[in-house]
Chain A
């Protein structure tokens, strides 16, 4: 069965650079979520989209933005990167509140 696809798997950026993370949810899932997970921490909710419209916002910095496109894939855009942005970024999708299906994540390292 198709899973949530995230790219890239690893990304190394320097401070003040920008990064774009991509997520392809499971087909026919109506909601996409973005999470940030620091080392040894639980996933922190950033933002979600329901049917391509932003549905909820969590602890997402103003330097970050996200959108969901007509083909349902989503992108998380991160600008003016800081050292503290180094983390695992997960995308997850669900259908009408069904359990979350997580992608393998993108490990972002900011140097």
Chain B
């Protein structure tokens, strides 16, 4: 079946350092979505990428969708303590969502 792999599982950074998480799907996706889940909270939608090679930015966050629409990355520049949480990618095909295992980000002040 379809799978979405996400790495790394954990990332500990010093405040101000950059952070990147990567997702790779076993099959081509219609789109990919990114969610952030704060400790004790529920996943919250961040962004959706639809086009091959698409790049979107949200302040310090940069999202990329690969040319083959099978991989994606989220890059955070100059992390802040408010970035702490788990970041999930979710591949979307035929009204089904395939979640990556998530990357738990810890930011040390």
**Contact residues of A with B, CB < 8 Å?**
31, 33, 40-43, 45, 48, 50, 55-56, 90, 92, 97, 99-105
Interface residues on B, range: 20 to 34
Asked if residues A103 and B42 are in contact (CB atoms below 8 Å), the reply is: yes
A40 (CB) vs chain B CBs: closest residue: B104
* Complex CA–CA separation, A102 to B41 (angstroms): 10
Given contacts A40-B104, A102-B42, 6 further A-B contacts (CB under 8 A): A42-B102, A99-B48, A100-B45, A100-B97, A101-B45, A104-B41
Residues of A within 8 A of B33 (CB): 99-100
A43 touches B95 (CB 8 A): no
How far is it, in angstroms, between the C-alpha of A37 and the C-alpha of B96 when the chains are bound? 17
B43 CB within 8 Å of chain A: yes
Is there a chain A Cβ closer than 8 Å to B44's Cβ? yes
Q: Are A50 and B95 in contact (CB under 8 A)?
A: yes
CB pair A104 B42 closer than 8 Å: yes
Closest to B4 in A: A42
Name the residue of chain B whose CB is nearest to the CB of A4.
Answer: B42
Known contacts A42-B100, A99-B33, A100-B33; is A55 also within 8 Å of B45 by CB? no
Cβ B97 vs Cβ A102 within 8 A:
no
- Would you give 28 A-B contacts (Cβ < 8 Å), ordered by A? A31-B95, A40-B104, A41-B101, A41-B102, A42-B88, A42-B99, A42-B100, A42-B101, A43-B43, A43-B88, A45-B96, A48-B95, A50-B95, A56-B95, A90-B42, A90-B43, A97-B92, A97-B95, A99-B48, A100-B33, A100-B35, A100-B43, A100-B45, A102-B42, A102-B43, A102-B44, A103-B42, A104-B41
Chain A residues near B102 (CB-CB < 8 A):
41-42
Cβ of B90 < 8 Å from any Cβ of A? yes
Bound-state Cα–Cα, A100 to B46, Å: 10
Task: Report the minimum CB–CB distance from B18 to chain A (whole Å).
Answer: 23
